[in-house]
Amino acid sequence: MKLLMFYVHEWWYKTALKSLPEVVDSEREESLGNAAVIFFHVEAEDEVKRESVVQKFVKNTKWIAGKFGTKNVVLHSFNHLSSSKSSPGFAKSLLDEVSERLERTGYRVMRTPFGYFSEFRMHVAGDSLAKVFKEF
């Protein structure tokens, strides 16, 4: 698992192009302020350590959000952080579980559509902890 995490003053995205033909058509444009934006990449080896990966994903997301006093989270699948890739079905189910766990504990979760390329704009804070990379 790879996480590229940002604290942003502002996040905006718009769906651009479907990358997985089997996903439902979705044209969306959304924005959110004062948020932890998590670019995540699910690797093949994560499939055998799912529970640990989910726990660390949630823990790291809560950590960065807590550093900036926000409950707003954006989850964006970004399959460009490693050459190892899990199956799309596994990545989607892991995303569903992480989202559910965060929402259950009071976080507002925005998810960019899975299986889509999106254009995006973000205003990242200047603090050193506003830009963090984690792998596990």
Tens of each residue's pLDDT in the chain, 136 residues:
999 999 999 999 999 999 999 998 999 999 999 999 999 999 999 999 999 999 999 999 999 999 999 999 999 999 889 999 999 999 999 999 999 999 999 999 999 999 999 999 999 999 999 999 999 9
Residue 132 belongs to a domain: no
Residue 35 exposed, middle or buried by CB count within 10 Å (0-12, 13-18, 19+): buried
Residue 77 belongs to a domain: yes
Residue 120 belongs to a domain: yes
Q: What is the pLDDT of residue 71?
A: 98
Summarised one tens digit per residue, pLDDT across range 41-62 is 999 999 999 999 999 999 999 9
Given the structure tokens 């990379």, which residue do they identify? 133
Q: What is the pLDDT of residue 107?
A: 98
Please report the DSSP string for 94-131 in residue order: HHHHHHHHHHHTT-EEEEPPTTEEEEEEEEE-SSGGGE
Residue 106, Ramachandran bin (φ over 0: left; ψ between -120 and 50: alpha; else beta): left
CATH number of the domain enclosing 10: 3.50.80.10
Number of domains in the chain: 1
Q: What is the pLDDT of residue 128?
A: 94
Residue 130 belongs to a domain: no
Contact call for residues 40 and 78 (beta carbons, < 8 A): yes
Q: What is the pLDDT of residue 50?
A: 98
Residue 24 belongs to a domain: yes
Q: What is the pLDDT of residue 63?
A: 98
Summarised one tens digit per residue, pLDDT across range 119-135 is 999 999 999 999 999 99
Contact call for residues 70 and 35 (beta carbons, < 8 A): yes
Residue 63 belongs to a domain: yes
SS3 label, residue 135: strand
Domain coverage including residue 37: 2-125
pTM as predicted = 0.94
Contact call for residues 99 and 93 (beta carbons, < 8 A): no
Residue 95 belongs to a domain: yes
Residue 15 belongs to a domain: yes
